[in-house]
Amino acid sequence: MPQTTTTAHRPHVPTLAEIEQRRAELHRLAGRPQPRPLVRPSEPEIDPLPAKQSTQAPPLPQPVLAEAALYGLAGSAVRTMAPHIEAHTAAILLQLLAAFGNVVGPGPHCMVGATRHGLNLFVVLVGESSKARKGTSWNQIARLFSEVDLPWLDTRVTTASVTPVGLIYALRDQQSPTDRRRLALSEEFASVLQSLRRSKGQLSPLLRCAWDGGDLRTLDRQRPLQATGTHISLIAHVTQRDLEQHLHPTEAQNGFANRCLWTCVHRRICLPEGGSLGAEQLSGIARELRRALDWAAAEKEILFRRDHAARELWNDRYPVLSQARPGLYGAATSRAEAQVLRLSAIYAALDCSPIVRLPHLQAALAVWDYCAASAPLLFGACTGDYIADRIKEAIDRTPQGLSKTQINGLFHGRVSSGRIDTALAQLMSLGALGCSSQPTAGRPASLWSAAPDAPPASQPREPVVQKET
């Protein structure tokens, strides 16, 4: 049977006549003026990767050192040196107090029950590297004390690496009786923070014991060392990045951090030609400091006590000083009473007075208030708990807030709902989070967002330092 051929889907093939006709039409069109193309207004360029809006919380107010802190001889010294140093006033003052507290030795002390408090301080200056002028401020303090007590500066101040064996070996009992004072100057405090983890657990308890003024011992059975009656102070310089990376929450919570006076510092003034502090001005301060040291050296033991006015102020401030606070900030400031006690005794010793009077205590409280105000900048709303800090970090990056379901999703089902509720309650107690109710088709949902005045959280398990401007 013959097959039927269909052309329903075959393409049309033009004939020669059609081709010639189309060619003639194109020639005619080529001779005509062509219409101008329609010019459309140019559209604005769109950035394929628009910048994200900053979700970082506004910086906290920078701490201000109250005038009361510049009382007496310490205040006179700072006012004399400050116009010639770019460093922050607090950096000059805190290092001066720490240096004097070490020079006077272990004789001057306070008693709280059966606990003895010497005048040794641990001061940590936190500021931007090479810009905060931390080292510059110490250089001027060293210049001053070279006129006050040069042998102390040459033999009792060390810049050697702080290690358990090195610290005890220098003051060991096995050698002949010697001066047990030691000021450890650590201008690279990051290495010390790293050593706190690497030294088999010895350095942190050793430094805590050194602040307490107790006897020091190594745990090495092959080389047992002991140093009794030590009087050890610490002045440390660290940058924002190093503190954030190397200070583990364990050290903040085990009693090491609360023995330190954490101090935010920055460059206060700009001196392109440097300072011009005259030798006569410096010598005048040195004479007054020597007089205070001679007074302290005249007595083997000096016990400081408060007068009536200072006692009333102390009783008024004590509940606040001794108040427990949550988080790393609370852990780092939980030894406020002892810090103020030592600071007030140093101010009294500078006045050659065994009585802590009202101005001495007011000055000590002003110094502590500055350090306490620095702590939120250094530790933020960090809790030291990984779950809580991870939640705070995520919420800081989400201005619209997170629901409980979204928060649970941060941990991919590996953390129980009860554990997350505990972390949220902890952040609420810190004032770091707020909770609002959002209407839905069913039961209202809880939306968690950052509190307006809360500092931003750091990376999980790591405190953060905020730079001063």
CA–CA dist 141, 81 (Å, integer): 9
**pLDDT (tens digit, 9 = 90+) per residue, 136-186?**
788 889 999 999 999 999 999 988 878 777 778 778 876 656 788 999 999
pLDDT value, residue 313: 97
By residue range, what is the domain housing residue 394?
Answer: 386-450
311 assigned to some structural domain = yes
- Rounded to whole angstroms, what are the CA distances from 271 to 73, 83, 276, 468? 25, 9, 10, 19
pLDDT value, residue 308: 97
**pLDDT (tens digit, 9 = 90+) per residue, 245-262?**
777 766 667 788 899 999
pLDDT value, residue 277: 76
Q: What is the CATH number of the domain that holds 422?
A: 1.10.10.10
455 assigned to some structural domain = no
CB contact burial 296-308 (16+ within 10 A = b; e otherwise) = beeeeebebebee
Task: Say yes or no: 310 and 445 in one domain.
Answer: no
The residue from 358, 379, 400 where one domain ends is 379
The residue from 341, 357, 379 where one domain ends is 379
Task: Say yes or no: 356 and 305 in one domain.
Answer: yes
Say if residues 135 and 189 touch (Cβ distance below 8 Å): no
Closest CA relative to residue 341, chosen from 236, 265, 261: 261
Task: Say yes or no: 307 and 423 in one domain.
Answer: no
pLDDT value, residue 49: 33
Task: Say yes or no: 340 and 392 in one domain.
Answer: no
Task: Say yes or no: 375 and 394 in one domain.
Answer: no
392 assigned to some structural domain = yes
Task: Say yes or no: 180 and 228 in one domain.
Answer: yes
Q: How many structural domains comprise the chain?
A: 2
Which residues are CB-contacts of 74 (< 8 A; sequence separation ≥ 6)?
93, 96, 97, 100, 346, 347, 350, 363
The parts of the chain modelled with pLDDT lower than 50 are: 2-8, 34-59, 457-469
Residue 114 CB neighbour total at 10 angstroms: 5
- How many helices (H) and strands (E) are present in the chain, helices listed first? 18, 15
92 assigned to some structural domain = yes
CA angle 376, 380, 382 (to 5 degrees): 130
Task: Say yes or no: 426 and 306 in one domain.
Answer: no
Say if residues 123 and 236 touch (Cβ distance below 8 Å): yes
15 assigned to some structural domain = no
Task: Say yes or no: 170 and 122 in one domain.
Answer: yes
232 assigned to some structural domain = yes
Say if residues 266 and 214 touch (Cβ distance below 8 Å): no
pLDDT value, residue 21: 66
CA–CA dist 467, 56 (Å, integer): 14
**pLDDT (tens digit, 9 = 90+) per residue, 9-53?**
555 556 656 666 666 666 555 555 544 444 444 433 333 333 334
CA–CA dist 274, 243 (Å, integer): 29
Task: Say yes or no: 250 and 350 in one domain.
Answer: yes
